[in-house]
Chains A and B, each alone.
Chain A
Amino acid sequence: MVKKKCFFGIKTDRQVDGDKMNAKLSQEVLAQGGENAAINACMQCGTCSGGCPNAERMDLLPRSLVLMVQRGEWEKVLKSQTLWLCSSCHTCTSRCPRGVRPTDVIEAVKAIAIREGIKNDSVRFNQIFVELIEKRGILFEPELMLKYGGLKALVDQAELGIKLTLKGKLSPFPPKVKEPKKFSEALTKAVKK
């Protein structure tokens, strides 16, 4: 389908349209991310997109992403690359004149996307990261690299690893909290809920 464009190349499907609003997704986002992920106050001014350091690489700019959440466009939102290009820098959040926090909105949408089964390298990395923290409570980076990138990553990063070890910055023993089992069980239980 050819996208209709009006003057100046503005995409008509990225505009506010009262008939197209569907609160289901925004409610889902609110349930996941709490009050900080509320978007009702958004007036679509685009300040968030204007300040985003990664906007040029995104398929949906932060403003459009928030609009798509408001319109309940699940597929567009969950398949968007924007979720994985956001580096949580909070520039949008500190500039929003309406107090909306696109960083927190994107964070909540990411969690929903993972729950809905979206798969890509970023999802895999984030899941492994959390899995490892749940295991011992403290991150052990060589393990993260090995689990994410396999032996290839370890070989690619070998030079850096050796340099860090020589500087006494890399211990061969993974650190952990005092009671990793209890720690881990509490977090696993919370996810199951």
Chain B
Amino acid sequence: MKYSYYPGCSLHSSAKEFDISTKVVMKELEIELEELQDWSCCGGSIAGGVDHNIGMALAARNVVLAQNQNQDLLAACSGCYNKSAKAAQALENEQERAKITSILTDMGMSVSNQKIKVRNVVDVLVNDLDIAPKIKKPLTGLKVACYYGCLLTRPADITGWDSPVFPMSLDKLAQKCGAEVVDFRSKTKCCGGPILVPQEEVAFEMTKKLLDEAKSLGADCIILACPLCSNNLELRQPDIEKKYNVNYNLPILYITELIGLALGIKPRKLGLDKHLVSTKPVLAKVS
């Protein structure tokens, strides 16, 4: 199977390890990724709140690029995935399609009737592939908290491949890797990502609750699939520690990194050395 792979802004900057590990793991699992040519930002959760049509056009642009490549779109970032899937749905609606088409035509693009699917890496990993026979190095003894956040599974009419209330896909994948999954009650609670900058205090409080629960459950790390969540949970972890005078030192790993480790791929090849919160405690447990 071959996909048009849409990395998005974060995977080329602060979430580089997500990009690296996605490519390496997919290659190992014999899924071919062709990077979407000339992709642009999906607009995230912000653009639509400034102007609906701008938000839609930004997200739809990438879907149309994939249509023109005649391949399903595969996104790793939950946000890019969600917005692209929403745009693909909007292209089916006559009114929305007309508005989107007019903007994209001005960009010099042609919107075809080609039907493609927008998929997320987690969806493909759990529903299309069977990773179990390929596990070479089970992560026995590693306790993980799987965190889904918002956009990976909500709203269900856009996503639809896992429960928006009690999702299990990351848990299942981690279990297949041999890790012990803790019962993380906050797994679908928002980290406050989109409001981090203008409402820092609120976002920190929301993120702190997640770190608190994961820590109290004795998790060795949090597993996720969203660079924006990781921004709050990992990059801003020192700021939260300082503000609340606590100490977490909790590694945050992308699901593809966890799977890569279990597939026996070297940590450096997966980008595990690129984290700001050291992943050494995790590696020490599994080796």
A-to-B contact residues, CB < 8 Å: 32-35, 53-54, 57, 84-91, 93-95, 101, 103, 106-108, 110-111, 114, 120-122, 124-127, 129-130, 133-134, 137-139, 141, 145, 148-149, 160, 163-164, 167-171, 175, 177-179, 182-183, 185-187, 189-191
Which of B25-33, B116-124, B177-185, B195-203 lines the interface with chain A?
B195-203
> How far, in whole Å, are A175 and B150 apart by their CA atoms in the complex?
27
Contact B195 A94 (CB under 8 A): no
Contact A190 B53 (CB under 8 A): yes
Shortest B103–chain A CB gap in Å is 5
Interface majority SS (helix, strand, loop, mixed), chain A: helix
Contact B190 A87 (CB under 8 A): yes
Return chain A residues, CB-CB under 8 Å to B57: 186-187, 190
List the A residue with the shortest CB-CB distance to B200: A121
With A35-B95, A121-B198 already in contact, the answer to whether A129 and B53 are too (CB < 8 A) is no
Interface majority SS (helix, strand, loop, mixed), chain B: loop
- Chain A CB within 10 A, most for which of B52, B53, B93, B102: B52
Return chain A residues, CB-CB under 8 Å to B9: 138-139, 175
Shortest B162–chain A CB gap in Å is 12
List the A residue with the shortest CB-CB distance to B206: A53
Contact A191 B54 (CB under 8 A): yes
List the B residue with the shortest CB-CB distance to A120: B198
Contact A122 B154 (CB under 8 A): no
- How many residues of chain B get a CB closer than 8 Å to chain A's CBs? 60
> How far, in whole Å, are A35 and B89 apart by their CA atoms in the complex?
12
List the B residue with the shortest CB-CB distance to A106: B49
> How far, in whole Å, are A171 and B206 apart by their CA atoms in the complex?
30
Shortest B223–chain A CB gap in Å is 19
Return chain A residues, CB-CB under 8 Å to B103: 186-187, 189-190
> How far, in whole Å, are A134 and B41 apart by their CA atoms in the complex?
9
Return chain B residues, CB-CB under 8 Å to A126: 46, 49-50, 198
- Is B284's CB within 8 Å of the partner chain A? no
Known pairs A121-B198, A185-B106. 17 more at Cβ < 8 A? Answer: A54-B202, A87-B150, A89-B154, A107-B49, A107-B52, A125-B197, A125-B198, A130-B46, A137-B40, A167-B16, A167-B276, A179-B107, A183-B40, A183-B107, A186-B57, A190-B54, A191-B51
Q: Which of B33-63 contact A (CB under 8 A)?
A: 38-41, 43-55, 57-58
List the A residue with the shortest CB-CB distance to B45: A88
With A94-B155, A133-B41, A137-B41 already in contact, the answer to whether A110 and B95 are too (CB < 8 A) is no
Return chain A residues, CB-CB under 8 Å to B16: 167-169
Return chain B residues, CB-CB under 8 Å to A186: 57, 103-104, 106-107
Contact A163 B276 (CB under 8 A): yes
With A114-B50, A130-B51, A139-B9 already in contact, the answer to whether A84 and B195 are too (CB < 8 A) is yes
List the A residue with the shortest CB-CB distance to B191: A87
Shortest A94–chain B CB gap in Å is 4
